């Protein structure tokens, strides 16, 4: 794999423990524990129904809430829905002001920097803030390029996101590799433009059956990519 010297690194779920922040913030809503709420929201609603049937509503939180009530077999409650939206906004704020980084991620970024890789932070939104919070906490700027959906003008689920980013770094697809935890935004679109991709599967999940591409490698800890890349 030594031909790839540019790495597109996802942020939430890969470097930053967004799931933990989310679970703590939503704990108790609709009588669900943070863990239960997170699982239903993420796997049934977001990655299940939204990714499969309503990709155009990817960022529409109110619509997510409507699906949540439907999933739970309860009638829609606007007040609770508003409360969920507020709690999610607070969680997003918390993630910015008090981020919770995975220790293996920071060590991996340091080693990749030392080994001369070009690192690109590749995320949905708020890329400048995310990079800034890491710089503040670790006293170091790990990334040569910052990419986000507003900046590139494409959703991270779209192959054009990756094509546009590759142009900006001025490398060919085979010279770059995408690393991240979400099959639909970190792996599938990268593979569609002929990049290689490593799926970070921290929780030992199954690869989605209906996805027609597979990652080149799967790891459950980010540190594993260092030996993979140097092979």
Chain residues binding Mg ion by CB under 5 A are 10, 12-13, 181-182
Which residue's CB is nearer to Mg ion, number 118 or number 182? 182
> Closest distance between Mg ion and the C-beta of residue 60, in Å?
19
> Closest distance between Mg ion and the C-beta of residue 200, in Å?
8
> Closest distance between Mg ion and the C-beta of residue 134, in Å?
15
Which residue's CB is nearer to Mg ion, number 10 or number 17? 10
> Closest distance between Mg ion and the C-beta of residue 11, in Å?
7
Q: Which residue, judged by CB position, is nearest to Mg ion in the bound state?
A: 13
Which residue's CB is nearer to Mg ion, number 46 or number 81? 46
**Residue closest to 104 by CA, chosen among 228, 225, 231, 229:** 225
> Closest distance between Mg ion and the C-beta of residue 13, in Å?
3
Which residue's CB is nearer to Mg ion, number 13 or number 126? 13
Which residue's CB is nearer to Mg ion, number 105 or number 229? 105
């Amino acid at each position: 794999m030594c031909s790839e010297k540019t790495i597109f690194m996802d942020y939430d779920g890969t470097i930053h423990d967004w799931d933990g922040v989310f679970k703590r913030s939503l704990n108790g809503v609709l009588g669900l524990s943070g863990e239960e709420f997170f699982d239903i929201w993420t796997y049934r609603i977001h990655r299940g129904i939204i990714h499969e049937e309503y990709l155009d509503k990817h960022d529409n939180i109110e619509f997510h809430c409507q699906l949540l009530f439907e999933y739970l077999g309860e009638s829609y409650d606007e007040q609770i829905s508003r409360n969920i939206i507020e709690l999610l906004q607070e969680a997003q704020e918390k993630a910015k002001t008090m981020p919770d980084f995975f220790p293996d991620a920071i060590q991996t970024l340091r080693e990749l920097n030392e080994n001369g890789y070009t690192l690109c932070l590749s995320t949905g939104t708020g890329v400048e803030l995310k990079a800034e919070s890491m710089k503040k906490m670790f006293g170091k700027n790990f990334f040569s390029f910052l990419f986000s959906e507003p900046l590139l003008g494409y959703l991270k689920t779209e192959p054009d996101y990756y094509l546009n980013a590759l142009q900006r770094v001025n490398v060919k697809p085979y010279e770059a590799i995408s690393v991240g935890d979400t099959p639909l935004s970190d792996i599938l679109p990268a593979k569609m433009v002929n990049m290689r991709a490593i799926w970070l599967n921290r929780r030992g999940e199954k690869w989605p059956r209906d996805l027609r591409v597979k990652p080149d490698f799967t790891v459950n800890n980010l540190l594993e990519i260092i030996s993979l890349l140097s092979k």
